[in-house]
Amino acid sequence: MKKISVVAAFGLLLFAALSYADEGVHWTYEGHAGAKHWGDLEKDYATCKLGKHQSPIDIETGKVKTADSDPIKLAYNGAKADVINTGHSVQVEPVDGGALTVDGVEYKLVQFHFHTPSEEKINGKHHAMVAHLVHKSADGKLAVIAVLFDLGRENGTLQPIFASLPAKAGDKHPLDGTINVSGLIPANHASFMFEGSLTTPPCSEEVHWIVMKTPMTISSRQLDAFKKLYPMNARPTQPTNGRVVQAGR
Ligand SMILES: [Zn+2]
């Protein structure tokens, strides 16, 4: 009996140590470990305060420049996925869910997750929620598509996820059926494009951002289900420091 509890205690300790290593230093959105302090929490987070191309930003539509780049190409498919409560959001990780091509570079879909309110502002205003679809190229570069959500009709693509959100940090379950993220993206691909960063520690830069201009909708019931877990998980907007936002097609 005693032996078993020692083994169990050791297992628990190991699990705690591994989760700690995986998550890095504890951070939050408000309070002592909140967004204002991320850059001071540990050395690896310094970019959060020193970076000059940080995200999110407030997009002033009057200052957006026309881009001469090719339209983005989206090629998504239905895929099995895991749904994970990361302790900072709910994240969905599809297996081979498709890819995005921008400026001739292909980025494979890795995961998507949610923030409320939207981290991005458009002319000073938040939307109710945003989904960040994170893509990675073969050489490790990141491109994120942000889809803004307003309250309205229930979102059918999100329903299987939002109907049973993993309740506690660390909880993970396979999604019932498959998910095709093309159902999350507005039919009109007009976007705002700019260079930015991850919006969570370590705030790494060189992320290509594509914020869809046309918002999608979620029902208040769907938003409430998410807010029960995360009432506020948006980093404040960051200075643009002369960055130009381009209009993507
Ligand atoms: Zn995000």
Per-residue pLDDT tens digits for 14-73: 444 444 444 578 999 999 999 999 999 999 999 999 999 999 999 999 999 997 778 899
Instruction: Place 249 in a pLDDT band, splitting at 50, 70 and 90.
Output: confident
Cα 206 to Cα 77, 81, 164: the distances in Å are 27, 27, 34
For residue 153, how far is its CA from the centre of ligand 1 (angstroms)?
Answer: 23
Using a CB cutoff of 5 Å, list residues around ligand 1, an ion: 132
Instruction: Place 5 in a pLDDT band, splitting at 50, 70 and 90.
Output: low
The structure tokens 């598509």 sit at 145
3-state class percentages of the chain: helix first, strand second, coil last, to nearest 5 = 25, 35, 45
Using CA atoms, how far apart are residues 130 and 216, in angstroms rounded to an integer? 9
Q: How many CB atoms lie within 10 A of CB 191?
A: 25
For residue 5, how far is its CA from the centre of ligand 1 (angstroms)?
Answer: 40
φ/ψ (deg, to 5) at 152 = 175, -130
For residue 1, how far is its CA from the centre of ligand 1 (angstroms)?
Answer: 46
Using CA atoms, how far apart are residues 233 and 119, in angstroms rounded to an integer? 8
Q: Report CA 7 to chain centroid distance, whole Å.
A: 37
Model-wide pTM > 0.85: yes
Domains, the chain, ordered by start: 35-248 (3.10.200.10)
